[in-house]
Amino acid sequence: MQRVLATPVDGGYECTWTPETEGERPVTKQLVKALRAKTHQLEAEISQLKQADSRIVLPVPLLAQARMQSFRLFIRNLSLYLKVYHMFIQAMFQSRAVSTPAPETRSQSVHDHFSLKYQYIFHIDTSLPHNEQSPEHQASLKCEWNRYLPNLDTIQFSRHEHDTLLHRYFSYGAAWLFGMLPDSFLHDMLEYLSPSSTCTPDQLPHYSPILHCSVLAFASSMSENPHVRQPSTREKFATHAKQWLDKSERNTGYMYTGMSMRAARAGTASQLRSWYCWSAFLTETYVRLSLESFVAQEMRRPSEMPTPNGLVTLPIAYELSAQPLSEMSATHLFDHVDYPRITIECFIKCTSLMLITNTIPTATQLETWFNAFPANLHFHQSDAFTPPPILALHIHYWWSILRLYLPDSATEPNLSMNLALVKLVELFEAFDAQFGLQYFPRNLLKAMYMCGRASILERLPEDGIEICLKGLRVWPCAESMVADLVQLRSSL
């Protein structure tokens, strides 16, 4: 038997039970109801929080005023995030029925062209004549990369800036955070945006204008250009993505949060179907974790999204090479032939960790998971560079250990908790030294905040507290966390 979520009834959810042998019932119907319900719930919570904020009229101290301003900023950023979140949910599930036969989407010539992948402009020697460029470079130079992007008015958005943002997005978390497959996106992007292309989104499972704009809405926060990085620019990308959904892609089924494979064409037993169900599950869980400290206790609810069935497996073949991963620079690390495989392995490990932490975990369960790590996913302080997804995965583990022992103010010092704090500080410092905290995963800011708070309560060395404050200060949405840590430290 399996549980099926129905529409909300009197503030709750009506559940029915159906035999698992009902193979003709599309799996996505359960998922879309749960995801849409979760989106509406989050939007309702934002509305309540805004109303509560507007009723505060009494004089408050300067620190409280600063915290209120940062809280308003958090709500504004969260509203933007939910806009993209809701947009991707629609994009995934407004598709044709799963039972509809999928036509052949590629001819043999298309398969041949698919071997080419879009190359970033800074990887091409533009001083060479066009006829001396490789076929891949020639096709990339002709690619109409900005065909479906919004007009940014006075902001100069060059191809170099565009390619830099894509590169950073794929390097610092697209695979680990969202389960996205960068090479597949770049293959289809080159084919779709070539001057002579006649492709439609239905024919290409890994690229569409809505996905392109959504990726840039997320990645633009990593820009070194303050005009590109500002929230209003990111909102233009998000709004333009929604426009493409409304105008011409209502029948495409792309995974929200970056997954670009067609759910409707995957088939009920497909590895792709499993892949983006897990991607949706992980992202929804991270959103819920990030909200825990900002919403009232009575507003917190467990996830309404069903846990995906079965183990997640690689949707495409990747073989590890014999080349060592330790590199002399971050650029060489990201361009390493094994980097895509390692990021996807981290995503798969994260799914098993999330299964443990999504209930009430025990220390033994977490330690068993950690001890099963393959050697290539270990973290060594002596390494010059560790892939960001590996750092993030270890941060998630030690954050999970820390959460077992919170709140700390009412407990005695605990060796396991203190070890988790030490390890988290080491990982934050490694990320800062190797890449910079401006690229730190935003869905792990809560781990940094909880580490800083526990370190203050345990009166641990100031260096650990400072690295937490340094990381949180990078992101405007974390200003309320910074204010809380500063106030807590000054009160002790």
Query: Terminal CA-to-CA distance of the chain, rounded, Å?
Result: 54
38 falls in which pLDDT band (50, 70, 90)? low
Q: Rounded to an integer, what distance in angstroms lies between the CA atom of residue 284 and that of residue 172?
A: 19
Kindly state the tokens that stand for 26.
């599309």
Kindly state the tokens that stand for 404.
């077992």
Kindly state the tokens that stand for 351.
């799914």
336 falls in which pLDDT band (50, 70, 90)? confident
pLDDT value at 453 more than 50: yes
- SS3 annotation, the chain: CEEEEEEEECCEEEEEEECCCCCCCCCHHHHHHHHHHHHHHHHHHHHHHHHHHHCCCCCCCHHHHHHHHHHHHHHHHHHHHHHHHHHHHHHHHCCCCCCCCCCCCCCHHHHHHHCCCCCCHHHCCCCCCHHHCCHHHHHHHHCCCCCCCCCCCCCCCCHHHHHHHHHHHHHCCHHHHHCCCHHHHHHHHHHHCCCCCCCCCCCCCCCCHHHHHHHHHHHHHHCCCHHHHCHHHHHHHHHHHHHHHHHHCCCCCECHHHCCCECCCCCCCCHHHHHHHHHHHHHHHHHHHHHCCCCCHHHCCCCCCCCCCCCCCCCCCCCCCCCCCCCCCHHHHHCCCCHHHHHHHHHHHHHHHHHHHCCCCCHHHHHHHHHCCCHHHCCCCCCCCCCHHHHHHHHHHHHHHHHCCCCCCCCCCCHHHHHHHHHHHHHHHHHHHHCCHHHCCHHHHHHHHHHHHHHHHCCCCHHHHHHHHHHHHCCHHHHHHHHHHHHHHHHC
This prediction has a pTM of 0.71
- Whole-number average pLDDT of the chain: 74
Q: Comparing C-alpha atoms, which of 170, 199, 83 is closest to residue 344?
A: 170
Contact status, residue 228 vs residue 150, Cβ threshold 8 Å: no
Amino acid at 164: T
Mean pLDDT of 318-327: 70
Q: Angle, to 10 degrees, between the axis of helix 479-491 and the axis of helix 445-457?
A: 0
Predicted local distance difference test score (pLDDT) of residue 355: 83
Kindly state the tokens that stand for 235.
């909102």
> Coil, helix or strand for 107?
coil
pLDDT value at 170 more than 80: yes
- Classify 133 in phi/psi space as left (phi over 0), alpha (psi -120 to 50) or beta: beta
pLDDT value at 321 more than 90: no
Residue with tokens 């004549």: 129
Helix (H) or strand (E) holding 184: helix 182-192
Q: Cβ–Cβ contacts within 10 Å for residue 25, how many?
A: 16
Kindly state the tokens that stand for 428.
């934050």
Tens digit of each residue's pLDDT (9 = 90 or more) over 253-307: 333 433 433 443 444 456 666 776 777 777 777 766 766 544 434 344 555 566 7
Query: To the nearest whole percent, how much of the chain has pLDDT over 90?
Result: 35
Tens digit of each residue's pLDDT (9 = 90 or more) over 346-395: 888 888 888 888 777 788 899 999 999 888 899 988 888 999 999 999 99
- SS3 annotation, 409-436: CCCCCCHHHHHHHHHHHHHHHHHHHHCC
Q: Angle, to 10 degrees, between the axis of helix 28-54 and the axis of helix 62-93?
A: 160
- The strand pair at 12-18 and 2-9 is best described as antiparallel
Q: Rounded to an integer, what distance in angstroms lies between the CA atom of residue 200 and that of residue 249?
A: 9
Predicted local distance difference test score (pLDDT) of residue 74: 52
Predicted local distance difference test score (pLDDT) of residue 261: 36
Q: Rounded to an integer, what distance in angstroms lies between the CA atom of residue 200 and that of residue 248?
A: 10
Helix (H) or strand (E) holding 9: strand 2-9
Q: Comparing C-alpha atoms, which of 295, 298, 419, 324 is closest to residue 46?
A: 295
Q: Angle, to 10 degrees, between the axis of helix 445-457 and the axis of helix 462-473?
A: 150
Q: Which of 72-76, 175-179, 200-204 has the lowest mean pLDDT?
A: 72-76
Cis preceding-peptide flag for 407 (omega within 30 of 0): yes
Predicted local distance difference test score (pLDDT) of residue 348: 86
Q: Which residues contact 389 (CB under 8 A, 6 or more apart)?
A: 173, 175, 176, 342, 343, 346, 347
